[in-house]
Amino acid sequence: MKALVTGSSGFIGSHLVRHLLQRGYDVSCLVRADSRPGVLSGLPVTLVSGSYFDLESLRRAVRGMDYVFHAGAVLSAPDWPGYFKTNVEGTANILEACAQANPGLRKFVHVSSISAAGPALDRKPLVETDECRPVSLYGQSKRQAELAATAFFSRLPVVIVRPPNVLGAGQRELLAVMTLLRRRIVPLIGRLEKQTSICFVQDLVRALVLAAEHDRAGGRTYFVAADEAYSWREIMAELLRALDMKFVLKIPHALLLGVALVSEAVARLSGKPPLVTRSDLRSARGNFWLCDASRIRAELGFRTEVEFTAGILDIVRQFRAGAND
């Protein structure tokens, strides 16, 4: 089977590429003409030069593919146009390229986010049929991208997958947290309540491939999450246990907002995305990012496999290995 992956150098995309290779797929990765291999270096993949805004390059990239996994997205931008151009227009363009150059495509898998649906109201886990109420510019762009995808349901076999907070080695925000924890600094994110559904990246990429290969998935939207929800404090405590750290300095929410303010200022000067923003912290504290993944279990038979403690231990092990390289 031939698969094209967009966003292949990102957190989810790079894990997906490795999983596809393990399953024996012939994997191509859409990359910018000036990009370097980075995390793809040494992997037996074909790098296909293209741009979300060059339809001919997209037609060349998707031609002959059995599956297209669209994991590319802008996660942080200074304004709405920064999100809209890539996340919405880019998604519509690659779908159009598939419809024109590969109408026999077996499946187009659009990697969305719980942000597209918005936080859970009254702490009741979201289901796929709930009205979407995104609360951030990123979430609004991901919802608009979903609508662009649904517009192609009559022309292509498209499936939309919405993960919640995804945990795994290489996740940018988690790397920042781990760096602080190694210095015995604990950011007190969120509250004590179970505020977030989670999905380990190993389970997410399995779900993405299952959605691609399963005949019933076309034209459907699926949340993918572990059965149990967690508080950010629980996740932090498990990371500390895995790191075997007992004596730490805890940074309260008010002080974290000051750190985020500095991070945003540095980002404006450097042109790089901030490690943390005040909006991120307020969202983690004020919202409940909960979803119910019953549909994908019932319709596709999907089950998460990574146990919470084992998943955290694996993240810490890989973080330590990377820090010692």
Domain boundaries, the chain: 2-165+198-226+289-305
Q: Please give the Cα distance from 161 to 124 (Å, whole number).
A: 20
Rounded Cα distance between 234 and 157, Å, is 39
pLDDT of 325 = 52
Q: Which of 5, 23, 3, 138 is nearest to 82 (CA)?
A: 138
Taking a C-beta distance cutoff of 8 angstroms, is the pair 123, 67 a contact? Answer: no
The per-residue pLDDT for range 222-243, each reduced to its tens digit, is 999 999 999 988 998 899 889 8
Tokens encoding 189: 């994110």
The answer to whether domain 2-165+198-226+289-305 has CATH 3.40.50.720 is yes
Amino acid at 147: L
Q: Which residues of the chain have pLDDT under 50?
A: none
Crossing angle of helices 11-22 and 201-213, rounded to 10°: 60
User: What confidence score (pLDDT) does residue 156 get?
Assistant: 97
Q: Among candidates 249, 242, 205, which has minimal Cα distance to 19? A: 205
Specify the pTM. 0.90
How does strand 221-223 pair with strand 158-162?
parallel
Question: What's the start-to-end Cα distance of the chain, in Å?
Answer: 35
- Give the pLDDT score at 279: 74
Do residues 16 and 40 make contact, with C-beta atoms less than 8 angstroms apart? no
Confidence at residue 247, expressed as pLDDT on a 0 to 100 scale: 65
